[in-house]
Structure 1
């Protein structure tokens, strides 16, 4: 029963779609698309700085937050080559892959530290040990909330570690899903930067999730003024396109849309959690727009069967091979179909 257009619940995109204000901003900008986007880009930097309570020279826009991640890796590789100090990148496993990918592309060794068994939390002591055992610089790539688990690392443990780390340890805190967090134990690394607690932190965020602008490729980094100045020298020139800049700015100014985006995701989350509880399938407490949940079976078989029923779900995430899958929280209408198919799978004994 393959659908012509499958429901895409596999890439953590926002199925609600762009805000009408963002669409109109793009249309309105077409008349000046022959100009460079310096003005809208500057306006977006100003807005991002205002929202986060930092100065404009603490903001670096990226062609998606993926570019911001790349600039940190390249900046430290350059520092490594200049100083003669070796560099490694340490990542939890599993997590979002871009920190590892950019390191691998650049010839930087990557150390993967498995999440804790059963709870799938960051194993902070093991992460620290990976750096302590290495004679050189370490870059930690830490996604909080983590992808694919959707869980957070509480601020108390995180903050104590990061703000007291030696100056040859650097941190990318990827907060792509921070707008969805409701757990009061979470605190953004931006607060630690504003408090001047550490110079080696770079927080990256994106407009791809809550703002539904994945195709526009707009993200940003926040760090100290000195760090941002250095990172900017490794960013692509003119890396923000006009459509992306005006769409991001319009979305940030569209409070009604942002509230709707968050509300629909929360509605979808409640629907999925309810059916998982009904079926007795374990799920991790999600602070994101996806849920990492048990399926009690072979993951690839489950993925294939979902595709056959017109739904695309998340891929396999080794080393977590104990029958868990990630499903993006699409619109409530899309999740109604997911719930229907999941119940059908239970009837067939597949989950």
Structure 2
């Protein structure tokens, strides 16, 4: 049978692997592969969703109510707030707006798995900069990599999948080394889990005012537990965010997502109690894994990182065999989300068995 003639696709896109979601879990397994919040939605959030607008009507394309709420919260005008279907959508929008053929986008690696595809889809060139030996951003090397072709830099703090933060002092030094016309995206998807006093907090420190080339990203997917509704936001200069709005897909934030985000802000004190529980579990998990001999980096997110190197796939298989679904990154390591209380003991049992087997 003759193969049909298909439309021509850009070769670099044809070679690009689609974003790979964390593996789904069976009914008896712990799904610790996607950094999801293990708690069920709050009753008040579910109640708000029960009164969502009719699904035969389009949502408000600007998510005005949520923008107004966030603007009031952070003391910025509503046009300095941008809402999209998850912070990853805003990453795509900003890179599309800033970079094209012949341009460069710098990012740390290993970091968020979507980063390498962002410049490629825009037609630009990605410039990955290896992490330091302790799994942190090498900000000096990233600043050294800036050229006349650099259009955007991606900073992930805490870094996904390794966990360490960028400090306020490190961020300030870095930004001062970067030309003012280069977009810096400060991706703070896990900021609510941070306990380090010296960590950069882009919104509390209002870095977008002192440095107009900085945009701060946040999400409702992690700490707020709305991963299934897809809603994230950015705060920065209005003209920069207008560019993101121009490249975004219209009407991508549903009414349900907007309503749930507002209800979650109303219930923030209760939600942060849950975050505190997860931080305590993370602390317990890191300490116990280190006691077993694992070189776990400092994590300020809702996950821990096992630097497993070339044994990554083999070790991940041991977790899966025990009904613990983790996220392996072949050749580098394994990310394990902080999930249900009952999962902690099982994680430690498998991790100990792996240590004993490798000795």
TM-score, with structure 1 as normaliser:
0.88
Alignment equivalent of 1:199, drawn from 196, 203, 212: 212
> 2 CA distance for matches of 1:340 and 1:26?
39
1:82-97 equivalences under 5 Å are 86-97=102-113
Whether contact under 8 Å (1:59, 1:221) holds in the other structure is: yes
Per-residue deviation at 1:40? 9.7
Whether 1:15 aligns to 2:24 is no
Per-residue deviation at 1:155? 1.1
Alignment equivalent of 2:74, drawn from 52, 76, 81: 52
Whether contact under 8 Å (1:267, 1:332) holds in the other structure is: no
Per-residue deviation at 1:325? 2.3
> 2 CA distance for matches of 1:39 and 1:231?
14
Aligned residues: 335
In 2 relative to 1, CA 317–190 (structure 1 residues): closer, same or farther, beyond 3 Å? farther
Per-residue deviation at 1:344? 4.1
> 1 CA distance for matches of 2:105 and 2:62?
35
Deviations 1:126-164 (A, max 9, x none): 111211xx3323311110111111101111121122145
In 2 relative to 1, CA 40–203 (structure 1 residues): closer, same or farther, beyond 3 Å? closer
Whether 1:290 aligns to 2:303 is yes
Match of 2:144, SS? helix
Match of 1:150, SS? coil
Whether contact under 8 Å (1:8, 1:312) holds in the other structure is: yes
> 2 CA distance for matches of 1:192 and 1:286?
22
Structure 2 gaps, min length 5: 1-24
Whether contact under 8 Å (1:264, 1:331) holds in the other structure is: no
Whether 1:34 aligns to 2:52 is no
Deviations 1:48-105 (A, max 9, x none): 222323221110001111111011111113xx57xxxx31011111000223212112
In the alignment, which residue of structure 1 is the partner of 2:10? none
Per-residue deviation at 1:268? 1.5
In the alignment, which residue of structure 2 is the partner of 1:123? 138
> 2 CA distance for matches of 1:21 and 1:113?
43
Structure 1 gaps, min length 5: none
> 1 CA distance for matches of 2:45 and 2:61?
17
Whether contact under 8 Å (1:37, 1:242) holds in the other structure is: yes
> 1 CA distance for matches of 2:225 and 2:208?
31
Alignment equivalent of 2:262, drawn from 241, 244, 249: 249
In the alignment, which residue of structure 2 is the partner of 1:224? 237
In the alignment, which residue of structure 2 is the partner of 1:234? 247
Stretches of 4+ moved more than 6 A in 1?
none
Match of 1:216, SS? coil
Pick 1 or 2: higher relative contact order, CA cutoff 8 A, min separation 6: 1
Whether 1:67 aligns to 2:92 is no
In the alignment, which residue of structure 2 is the partner of 1:272? 285
TM-score, with structure 2 as normaliser:
0.86
Whether 1:98 aligns to 2:98 is no
In 2 relative to 1, CA 341–163 (structure 1 residues): closer, same or farther, beyond 3 Å? same
